[in-house]
Amino acid sequence: MKRLKLVSRTPAETRRLGEAFGRAAQPGDLLLLDGPFGAGKTVFVQGLAAGLDVQAYVSSPSFIMINEHHGRLPLFHVDLYRIEGRLDPETLDALEDYLGRDGICAIEWPGLVPPPLRLGGSELRFAPSGDTTREITIDTPSDRLATAARDAGAAPAAETRD
Ligand SMILES: Nc1ncnc2c1ncn2[C@@H]1O[C@H](COP(=O)(O)OP(=O)(O)OP(=O)(O)O)[C@@H](O)[C@H]1O
Ligand SMILES: [Mg+2]
């Protein structure tokens, strides 16, 4: 597992990071996007969609939970914010189904996603550190995505885990 950190100073920078991930994305990639309200998770997914050549605007899927977009690869944008307690069996089945569909899965509020479904996924944690600054920590098992993040300005964190 590689850990990288970067500071985004504007929404555009977060969007560019998403775009870099979108260009590097391969079928089956899973991105778990953690962080509080307004941290920039959806801004990242808008860039991700652009990097995947999705033409339509990505809004927050908070009310429908899963939005499907079609670009170079399918993008499944999931938001689990409204779910409390635990994921019910139907939601788990649906998630598992999307994860097996050879697209890119980006999940906001992934706290309730059970460990077996996170396997192989990359975690991005968005931490607001000022009005428009966000510290973004990326843990990824993928050299390809780590390279994309580095090209977008992320620096390896002091500690690198394997
Ligand atoms: N560096 C930055 N990166 C991303 N967004 C930023 C940044 N600076 C300011 N912002 C603003 O913060 C807000 C981020 O909103 P966004 O919807 O992406 O958050 P979110 O993490 O998806 O929140 P939610 O949990 O409510 O879905 C936007 O209004 C954006 O313009
Ligand atoms: Mg959001």
* pLDDT score of 162 more than 70: no
Longest dimension (CA), the chain: 41
pLDDT of residue 65: 80
125: pLDDT confidence band, cut at 50, 70 and 90? very high
The set of protein residues with a Cβ atom below 6 angstroms from ligand 1 is 8-11, 13-14, 35, 37-43, 60, 81, 108, 126, 132-134
Task: Provide the whole-model pTM.
Answer: 0.83
CB 83 within 8 A of CB 91: yes
Measured distance CA(141)–CA(161) in Å, rounded: 10
Q: How far, rounded to the nearest angstrom, does the alpha carbon of residue 66 sit from its chain's CA centroid?
A: 14
Question: Nearest C-alpha to atom 18 of ligand 1 is from which residue?
Answer: 40
**Domain residue extents for the chain:** 2-146
pLDDT of residue 66: 86
Tens of pLDDT, residues 92-112: 888 999 999 999 999 999 999
Q: Measure 10 CA to ligand 2 centroid, in angstroms.
A: 16
Mean pLDDT of 56-83: 80
CATH 3.40.50.300, applies to 2-146: yes
Residue in this structure with the two tokens 């973004």, named with its chain if needed: 136
Whole-number average pLDDT of the chain: 91
Using a pLDDT cut of 70, give the percent of the chain over it. 92
